[in-house]
């Protein structure tokens, strides 16, 4: 199964790099968006990205996304409305797709931070509880999928582990990801985790127990990430 995944295009900021990466790839079985695909809530940029993918590969495969911190809460309904049926967004929920004879369960979440940013503390007074609920929700969704599907993917924006943040000052991990999600992954063992958010990492792949983790942030990887699994 060929999976392509990308995050942090911040369109139009890294749109040229996104186009260049599409030029060297073939059609996937599944395309994943890991959040911050547009810059500062620019909802209409989603259709720019989807147009490019469809012009290169057609539309005979699912595109599934989660939201990042630059898909602001107040524009998410607009993003979903503008994108129509071209992409399925998983905002703290899950879906099941069939590909290559496998049932694939996908859980989507923005993820959490160990420490809220100053903006989040000012504007979302309940943010600590929000972060805790997201981790518990992801754990519950993964558990529910456990006996229903052949493989499970956790699609998130923030990082769940230090290893894919190497290149940043690791003392700043609290503003990049969440140790709560690390524990969720250790306990529930999804087959694959896709995340973004970390622009300057030099290590883009790691293992949490038996789970393969990929940081697919375009500014870090410089390409759309392609993963071939479960052949």
Tell me the pLDDT band of 123, cut-offs 50, 70 and 90.
Answer: confident
Quote the pLDDT of residue 84: 83
Note whether 45 and 38 are within 8 A (CB): yes
Answer for the pair 158, 178: CB distance below 8 angstroms, yes or no.
yes
Asked whether the beta carbons of 175 and 113 are under 8 A apart, the reply is: yes
Strands of the sheet containing 93-99, edge to edge, are 93-99, 102-109, 151-156, 192-195, 211-215, 205-208
Rounded to the nearest angstrom, the gap between the alpha carbon of residue 221 and the centroid of all alpha carbons in its chain is 14
Chain Cα centroid distance, residue 125 = 25
The pLDDT value recorded for residue 214 is 97
Choice among 29-43, 68-82, 161-175 with the minimum mean pLDDT: 161-175
* CATH architecture entry for 2-228: 4-Layer Sandwich (3.60)
Instruction: Please say whether the beta carbons of 55 and 91 come within 8 A.
Output: no
Mean pLDDT within 110-115: 91
pLDDT digits (tens, 9 = 90+) for 7-65: 999 999 999 999 999 999 999 999 999 999 999 989 999 999 999 999 999 989 999 99
Helix (H) or strand (E) segment spanning residue 19: helix 15-23
Q: What is the mean pLDDT of the chain?
A: 93
Domain ranges in the chain are: 2-228
Q: Whose structure tokens read 């990887």?
A: 221
């Amino acid at each position: 199964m060929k999976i392509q995944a990308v995050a942090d295009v911040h369109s139009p900021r890294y749109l040229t790099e996104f186009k260049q990466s599409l030029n060297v790839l073939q059609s996937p079985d599944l395309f994943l968006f890991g959040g911050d695909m547009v810059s500062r809530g620019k909802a209409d940029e989603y259709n720019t990205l989807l147009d490019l993918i469809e012009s290169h590969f057609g539309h005979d495969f699912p595109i599934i996304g989660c939201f990042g911190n630059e898909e602001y809460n107040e524009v998410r309904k607009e993003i979903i409305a503008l994108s129509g049926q071209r992409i399925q967004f998983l905002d703290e929920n899950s879906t099941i797709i069939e590909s290559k004879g496998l049932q694939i369960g996908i859980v989507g979440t923005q993820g959490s931070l160990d420490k809220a940013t100053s903006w989040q503390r000012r504007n979302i007074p309940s943010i600590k509880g929000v972060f805790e609920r997201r981790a518990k929700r992801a754990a519950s969704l993964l558990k529910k999928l456990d006996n229903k599907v052949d493989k499970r993917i956790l699609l998130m924006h923030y990082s769940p582990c230090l290893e894919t943040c190497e290149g940043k000052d690791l003392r700043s991990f609290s503003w990049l990801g969440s140790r709560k999600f690390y524990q969720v992954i250790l306990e529930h063992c999804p087959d694959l985790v896709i995340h973004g958010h970390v622009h300057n990492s030099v290590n883009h792949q790691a293992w949490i127990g038996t789970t393969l983790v990929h940081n697919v942030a375009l500014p870090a990887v410089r390409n759309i990430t392609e993963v071939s699994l479960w052949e």
